[in-house]
Amino acid sequence: MSDSPTPRRPWPARPFKALLAMAGLVALQWLGDAFVARTGWPVPGSLLGLLVLLAGLALWGRVPQALDDVSAPLLRHLMLLLIPSVAAVGLYAGLLVQHAVAFLLVSVGVTALTIVATAWTLQRLLKRVRP
């Protein structure tokens, strides 16, 4: 027998599970949007849906294969989702110039916070992996 693992079947081999995973992602976004619309929270509904997804995956302990198969192409082409943001910067360039100092302070602060949170998370994960 060969020691090599059996190759995974390509994505279309599991269309029903993939459709369920897609429907789950859409449902989480819809639920987040509905919750924000009902409560009036100043938070994007899709962010709440992602937080629910994160909590579910943390409880599950792993990413289901169908969800991985559906989300991998989305993550590979994530830059396409940023095109509207880039267009908005061009459209509202005047406001951006008017509030440039605040924008720079917030941008630097959020970037620093992201780096610190990522480093902290990596440190915790590395401690769990080491014997």
pLDDT of residue 23: 92
Interatomic CA distance for residues 106 and 88, integer angstroms:
18
Query: Is 45:35 a contact under the CB 8 Å cutoff?
Result: yes
Q: Which of 59, 7, 63, 52 is nearest to 26 (CA)?
A: 52
Q: Band the pLDDT of 85: cuts 50, 70, 90.
A: confident
Strands (E), the chain: none
Give this prediction's pTM: 0.56
Query: At 93, phi and psi to the nearest 5?
Result: -60, -35
pLDDT tens-digit readout, 1-53: 455 565 665 555 578 888 888 999 999 999 999 999 999 988 888 889 999 99
Q: Is 104 exposed, middle or buried (0-12, 13-18, 19+ CB in 10 A)?
A: exposed
Query: At 16, phi and psi to the nearest 5?
Result: -65, -45
Alpha carbon 86 to its chain centroid, in Å, reads 19
The amino acid that residue 85 corresponds to is S
Q: Which of 58, 59, 52 is nearest to 36 (CA)?
A: 52
